[in-house]
């Protein structure tokens, strides 16, 4: 079911991705992995692709939610969300698993609008983790969380899977 999220930013839509759009998400995940390879050892396969083994789970597990981001009707990125923390193990926390906006649309409010729309869609506690070495992402999330909550949220440092992460925790309250 493709429903635009409740968002007031003109021209920006966050749409639930249907299973038939898995190849589109897989292509966007390749761009994301390429960008991400600057910060960690992501190996490209013999087929010339990075791959994303968990993608099919977004249509087979009810607590996983894939979204496509569009700007003026054109593809601009994706968001993958799941229930359950990758860091703390807390089962009732929403996790911003993967988040990507293509370079053309960065620093134009698209990412902040997309994040806000997703947070509004799933009220409750949230975790957003960022590799400590990814300063641009850390700054983006700090700004986006401030815009959404109206307060500065300081991340905590954690180590998981041999990587150093910054973990932002926030709450999205049910509106109305």
The CA distance from 141 to 119, in Å, is 13
Q: What is the pTM of this model?
A: 0.86
Q: What angle do CA 156, 142, 170 make, to 5 degrees?
A: 65
- Domain spans, the chain: 12-172
Q: Which of 3-17, 22-36, 58-72, 150-164 has the lowest mean pLDDT?
A: 3-17
What top-level class would CATH report for the domain 12-172? alpha beta
Of 142, 129, 106, give the one whose Cα is nearest residue 31.
106
Of 138, 135, 74, give the one whose Cα is nearest residue 110.
74
The total number of residues written for the chain in this structure: 176
Q: How confident is the model at residue 5 (pLDDT cuts 50, 70, 90)?
A: very low
Query: Tokens 């960022």 — which residue?
Result: 130
Q: Which of 5-14, 50-59, 109-118 has the lowest mean pLDDT?
A: 5-14
Q: What is the mean pLDDT of residues 41-55?
A: 71
Regarding beta strands 124-131 and 94-101, do their DSSP bridges make them parallel or antiparallel, or are they unpaired?
Answer: parallel
Of 91, 112, 142, 127, give the one whose Cα is nearest residue 7.
112
Q: What is the mean pLDDT of residues 91-101?
A: 93
| b (16+ CB within 10 A) / e for 46-83 | eeeebebeebeebbeeeebbbbbbbbeeeebbbbbbbb
Q: pLDDT, tens digit, for every residue of 142-155?
A: 999 999 999 999 99
């Amino acid at each position: 079911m493709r429903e635009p999220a409740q968002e007031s930013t003109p021209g920006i839509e966050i749409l639930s991705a249907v299973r038939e759009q898995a190849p589109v998400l897989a292509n966007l995940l390749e761009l994301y992995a390429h960008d991400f390879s600057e910060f960690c050892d992501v190996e490209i396969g013999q087929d010339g692709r990075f791959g994303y083994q968990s993608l099919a789970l977004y249509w087979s597990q009810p607590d996983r939610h894939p979204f496509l981001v569009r700007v003026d009707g054109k593809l601009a990125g994706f968001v993958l969300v799941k229930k359950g923390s990758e860091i703390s193990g807390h089962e009732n926390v929403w996790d911003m698993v993967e988040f990507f906006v293509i370079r053309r649309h960065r620093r134009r409010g698209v990412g902040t609008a997309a994040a806000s729309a997703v947070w509004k869609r799933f009220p409750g506690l949230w975790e957003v983790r960022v590799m400590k070495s990814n300063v641009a992402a850390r700054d983006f999330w700090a700004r986006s969380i401030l815009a959404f909550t109206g307060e500065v949220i300081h991340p905590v440092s954690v180590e998981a899977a041999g990587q150093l992460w910054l973990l932002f925790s926030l709450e999205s309250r049910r509106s109305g």
